[in-house]
């Protein structure tokens, strides 16, 4: 009943209306989403432009302040760079006496630094080389200093200014001084109408950053510099910037939404310096999202209301059609007395009238058909008698089933003749004819039955033999798979050829040892089941890496994993392959989830050299390696550090062209003495 209601015109039309409305609402929502994303991108562009303008204005204010003090150390006073006598900066610079320069120019720097006007004051030669530089020491240096000086003087610092900035006028720009990005001004000082030197004022990026963030309410960072960043959302912004190139974009971190903008400036050395602006727009983003949700809910409510109205109207208009359908159902079930009401003068009323006319003609046709059936039934009674005589010739076990069928048909024929009315019979016209045919079929099938039984026995036996053969083949394949899981394919083939002693010497091979740091503590907290699942998942990934790189897994002992390259099949690039696997293992471990709030860390050691490889034992045999190279590789792993790849000097010589390596130190290795070792950092 429920299925018929779903298939009715009323439900189909209502469903079509709802589907069309849903598609329309979806299109509207898609367009709304696109417009919202475009508006958010426009907002991001505007914020990036305004932040860049504000940052340039902040730098301009710092530049104007430094330019003002380029000619006067204090407001309202004449330029200190034009003083004469013992306190003359020009005389002090000309003397090239560091102590005198510190006495004369140091107070100038100290006053300007206390005002946050400059971070660095440097004396530049006409060739652009820094001669002397004043800069505030770090907090650590102040803590260990004997005096309480707020600045320090450096002779001949490693800084050169390009000639394009050394003119007879004040110039400005960005430069990297002592590892710090600075906004600077540089101006000449004269002696005898000639440029004697240049004075460099520089203010650190951190000072500009603080002033900018106070004004803008957002934050700014150098993209290509290392920082100690405490805010997680800034780390997320730097990661986003490293993944794609953009001027402005929007990203989401946790429950907040931010605008990330990029502003690029050029230093005096013609190098691009990129600044990243990060601004929180969570309120604007959330209000936009709430508006879109409210719009969606309103459209859904309207859709439900309109769908109900369409359903209600259609149900009232199509109700008479349901009565016509009921009459047709009764006619199909043999009830010719059911009638339909066709008082309406529309399409549905005309359909009802046509159904009633059809019912009258069906009654007349059924009366004529029943009379013809009575005549055929009498003829079939005679056929039934002949069939009974044929059944008497069949074997007893088959004759009983047919006798019962004949009696049943004979009874139904008698009942049909007695209750004959103008409606459909309950038995078909050809029932007796089919019974007569089956009698001959049973007689001819007796001989075929014996052949069929014999054929079935042969076929069943053949199927059993085929199953046994398949089981034997499956067992052989399982044995082959288990053997290859224990031994390399070439070694397994040699064992199957009855080679009793398998021991090979390899003059050039590479070995990797890896160990999970803090495994005992992890095992105590995870429990047996979770510990086995963790190790199985991790070592399965390692196995896949060794297969991918054509390396040979040797064994696992507890939380240790051993892999070799160049055995049992030699390869010229086995050192490169095993180094790649070490890097991929560290990367895979770094991507593992936290266990009890702690991350799994791996310690890896690599070495290359000659080894002996072979199979030992008759029961639970294994393919293993021996030799001094194996011991050194194990020492590299045990003397390494977590999340590091420790390699010997022999391995470093094989990898230095294709990988980045850094010198660690000379360490004492048991049985080997002092050895120079290296860290494997990554591929070139």
Cα torsion 89, 90, 91, 97: sign: positive
Region 413-440 average pLDDT: 53
Q: Can you point out the beta strands (E) in 267-414? A: 272-280
Pairing mode of beta strands 622-626, 602-616: antiparallel
| Nearest by Cα to 208 from 137, 134, 275 | 275
pLDDT at residue 582, rounded to an integer:
95
580 Cβ contact list (under 8 Å, min separation 6):
549, 683
Which residue shows structure tokens 């069943």?
Answer: 460
pLDDT at residue 146, rounded to an integer:
42
Report the C-alpha gap between 264 and 266 in whole angstroms: 7
Whether 623 and 494 have beta carbons less than 8 Å apart is answered as no
| Chain-centre distance for alpha carbon 18 | 36
Report the C-alpha gap between 84 and 196 in whole angstroms: 15
Report the C-alpha gap between 193 and 461 in whole angstroms: 119
Whether 681 and 659 have beta carbons less than 8 Å apart is answered as yes
| Nearest by Cα to 195 from 93, 96, 284, 317 | 93
Whether 187 and 198 have beta carbons less than 8 Å apart is answered as yes
Report the C-alpha gap between 576 and 658 in whole angstroms: 8
* pLDDT tens for each residue of 55-104: 889 888 889 888 888 765 444 454 667 666 667 788 888 888 888 888 88
Report the C-alpha gap between 643 and 23 in whole angstroms: 53
Report the C-alpha gap between 152 and 466 in whole angstroms: 94
Residues in the chain: 684
Which residue shows structure tokens 């004697």?
Answer: 196
Helix (H) or strand (E) holding 662, with range, is: strand 659-669
Region 102-116 average pLDDT: 86
* pLDDT tens for each residue of 635-646: 999 999 999 999
Region 350-372 average pLDDT: 71
Helix (H) or strand (E) holding 565, with range, is: strand 560-565
Phi, psi of 564, deg, nearest 5: -130, 150
Report the C-alpha gap between 401 and 336 in whole angstroms: 38
DSSP summary character for residue 80: G
Report the C-alpha gap between 237 and 279 in whole angstroms: 10
The neighbour count for residue 683, using CB atoms within 10 Å, is 12
pLDDT at residue 139, rounded to an integer:
40
Whether 171 and 186 have beta carbons less than 8 Å apart is answered as yes
Q: Helix or strand or coil: residue 505?
A: strand
Region 410-434 average pLDDT: 56
Report the C-alpha gap between 96 and 100 in whole angstroms: 8
Flag the least confident range among 239-253, 467-481, 539-553.
467-481
H-type alpha helices, 609-667: 628-638, 649-655
Question: 222 forms bridges with which residues in the sheet?
Answer: 275
Q: Does 505 have pLDDT greater than 70?
A: yes
Q: Which has more confidence, 244 or 562?
A: 562
High-pLDDT (> 70) share of the chain, %: 69
- Count CA atoms within 13 Å of residue 654 on its CB side: 21
* pLDDT tens for each residue of 157-207: 888 888 888 888 888 888 888 888 888 999 888 877 788 889 899 998 888
| Nearest by Cα to 644 from 565, 583, 561 | 583
Report the C-alpha gap between 138 and 119 in whole angstroms: 12
Structural domains of the chain in order of their starting residue, each with its CATH number: 334-486 (no CATH), 500-683 (3.30.70.1230)
Report the C-alpha gap between 14 and 179 in whole angstroms: 73
Whether 370 and 422 have beta carbons less than 8 Å apart is answered as yes
Which residue shows structure tokens 């059609």?
Answer: 321
The neighbour count for residue 401, using CB atoms within 10 Å, is 12
* pLDDT tens for each residue of 461-471: 778 877 777 77
């Amino acid at each position: 009943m429920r299925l018929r209601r779903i298939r009715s015109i009323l439900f189909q039309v209502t469903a079509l209306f709802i589907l069309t409305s849903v598609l329309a609402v979806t299109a509207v929502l898609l367009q709304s989403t696109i417009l919202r994303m475009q508006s958010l991108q426009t907002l991001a562009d505007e914020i990036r432009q305004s932040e860049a303008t504000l940052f340039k204005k902040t730098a301009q204010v710092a530049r104007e302040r430094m330019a003002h003090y380029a000619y006067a150390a204090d407001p309202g006073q004449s330029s200190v760079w034009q003083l004469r006598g013992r306190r003359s900066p020009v005389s002090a610079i000309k003397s090239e006496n560091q102590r005198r320069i510190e006495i004369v120019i140091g107070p100038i720097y100290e006053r300007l630094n206390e005002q946050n006007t400059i971070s660095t004051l440097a004396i530049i030669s006409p060739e652009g080389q820094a001669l002397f530089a004043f800069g505030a020491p770090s907090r650590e240096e102040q803590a260990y200093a004997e005096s309480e000086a707020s600045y320090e003087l450096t002779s001949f610092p490693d800084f050169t200014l390009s000639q394009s900035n050394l003119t007879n006028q004040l110039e400005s720009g960005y430069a990297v001084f002592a590892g710090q990005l600075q906004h600077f001004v540089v101006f000449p000082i004269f002696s005898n109408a000639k440029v004697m030197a240049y004075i460099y004022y520089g203010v650190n990026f951190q000072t500009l950053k603080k002033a900018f963030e106070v004004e803008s309410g957002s934050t700014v960072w150098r993209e290509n510099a290392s920082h100690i960043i405490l805010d997680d959302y800034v780390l997320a912004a730097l990661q986003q910037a490293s993944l794609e190139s953009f001027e402005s974009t929007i990203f989401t971190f946790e429950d907040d939404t931010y605008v990330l903008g990029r502003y690029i400036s050029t230093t005096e050395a013609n190098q691009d310096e990129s600044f990243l602006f990060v601004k929180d727009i969570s309120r604007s983003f959330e209000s936009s999202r709430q508006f879109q949700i409210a719009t969606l809910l309103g459209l859904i409510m309207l859709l439900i209301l309109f769908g109900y109205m369409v359903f209600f109207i259609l149900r009232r208009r199509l109700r008479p059609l349901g009565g016509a359908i009921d009459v047709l159902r009764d006619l199909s079930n043999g009830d010719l007395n059911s009638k339909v009401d066709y008082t309406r003068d529309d399409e549905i009323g005309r359909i009802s009238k046509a159904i009633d006319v059809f019912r009258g003609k069906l009654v007349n046709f059924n009366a004529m058909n029943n009379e013809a059936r009575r005549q055929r039934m009498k003829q079939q009674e005679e056929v039934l008698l002949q069939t009974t005589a044929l059944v008497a010739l069949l074997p007893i076990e088959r004759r009983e089933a047919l006798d019962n069928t004949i009696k049943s048909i004979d009874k139904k024929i008698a009942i049909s003749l007695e209750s004959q009315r103008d409606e459909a019979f309950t038995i078909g016209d050809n029932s007796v004819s089919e019974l007569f045919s089956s009698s001959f079929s049973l007689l001819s099938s007796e001989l075929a039955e014996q052949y069929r039984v014999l054929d079935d026995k042969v076929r069943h036996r053949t199927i059993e033999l085929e199953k046994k053969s398949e089981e034997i083949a499956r067992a052989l394949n399982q044995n082959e798979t288990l053997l290859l899981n224990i031994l390399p394919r070439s070694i397994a083939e040699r064992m199957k050829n009855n080679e009793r002693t398998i021991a090979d010497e390899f003059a050039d091979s590479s070995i990797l040892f890896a160990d999970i740091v803090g495994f005992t503590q992890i095992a105590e907290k995870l429990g047996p089941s979770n510990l086995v699942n963790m190790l199985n998942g991790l070592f399965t990934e390692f196995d896949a890496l060794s297969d991918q790189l054509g390396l040979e897994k040797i064994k696992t002992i507890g939380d240790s994993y051993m892999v070799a390259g160049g055995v049992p099949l030699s390869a010229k690039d086995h050192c490169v392959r095993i180094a790649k696997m070490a890097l991929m293992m560290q990367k895979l471990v770094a991507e593992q989830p936290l266990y009890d709030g702690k991350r799994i860390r791996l310690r890896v050691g690599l070495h290359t050299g000659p080894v002996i490889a072979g199979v030992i034992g008759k029961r639970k045999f294994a393919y293993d390696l021996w030799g001094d190279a194996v011991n050194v590789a194990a020492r590299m792993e045990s003397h390494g550090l977590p999340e590091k790849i420790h390699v010997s000097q022999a391995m470093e010589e094989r990898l230095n062209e294709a990988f980045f390596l850094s010198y660690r130190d000379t360490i004492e290795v048991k049985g080997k003495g002092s050895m120079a070792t290296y860290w494997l950092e990554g591929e070139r």
